[in-house]
Amino acid sequence: MSDQARLTPGQADTARIVSINTSTQKGERKKPAGSARLVTGHGIAGDGHAGEWHRQVSLLAIESIETMRAKGLDVGPGDFAENITTEGIDLVTLPVGTRLKLGTALVEVTQIGKECHDRCEIYRQAGDCVMPREGIFAKVLEGGEIRNNDSINKASEGTQWKCNERF
């Protein structure tokens, strides 16, 4: 499985994009968009989190969202401010530097998890939030179009990105 993303046991034999989510500003839930254009060195065109930094695109698994649903929350794709909701890939096990092919774009994992400085509304409602532990971040190496249901393929594991902290 060297050319495929790591799959979650029991999932389909390919990982896929469930939802693409954007917002114009930081700090707000993202809304499903259906498709988007990834811009090299920037992120998703028009998204408030895009920019010239190491967290250009965020990813969270639908399996993580389902964990929160099991706690009684009415949440779905974009509610954790993730740009790309995935299915069938164990995101947090991907080493920093892993390159993923998303549609026609190529991204590189730059950070696993994040520090949550202020408790978000999700945390206040459920006493927990999965994004700081189970979300990952990437920078865009090659821009391109992405759409819901596009496959996610592992292109390679690299070590050139030095920020390998895990929060």
d(CA 47, CA 49): 6
Cβ atoms of 153 and 104 within 8 Å: the answer is no
Which residues, in sequence order, are bridge partners of residue 4?
A: none
> Exposed (0-12), middle (13-18) or buried (19+): which is 8, by Cβ within 10 Å?
middle
Between 104 and 162, residue with greater pLDDT: 104
Look up the CATH superfamily of 15-157.
Answer: PK beta-barrel domain-like (2.40.33.20)
The three-class DSSP label of residue 87 is strand
Task: Tell me if the pTM is above 0.95.
Answer: no
Structure tokens at 33: 């968009």
52 has a pLDDT exceeding 50: yes
Give how far the C-alpha of residue 11 lies from the chain's centroid of Cα atoms, to the nearest Å: 18
* Per-residue pLDDT at 88: 96
Do 57 and 84 form a contact (C-beta atoms < 8 A)? yes
pLDDT at 100 over 50: yes
Q: Which of 69-73, 89-93, 122-126 has the highest mean pLDDT?
A: 89-93
Mean pLDDT score of the chain, rounded to an integer? 83
pLDDT surpasses 90 at 160 = no
Reported as a single tens digit per residue, the pLDDT across 78-94 is: 988 899 999 999 999 99
CA distance 30 to 44: 12
Query: In the numeric block, which tokens belong to residue 93?
Result: 């096990």
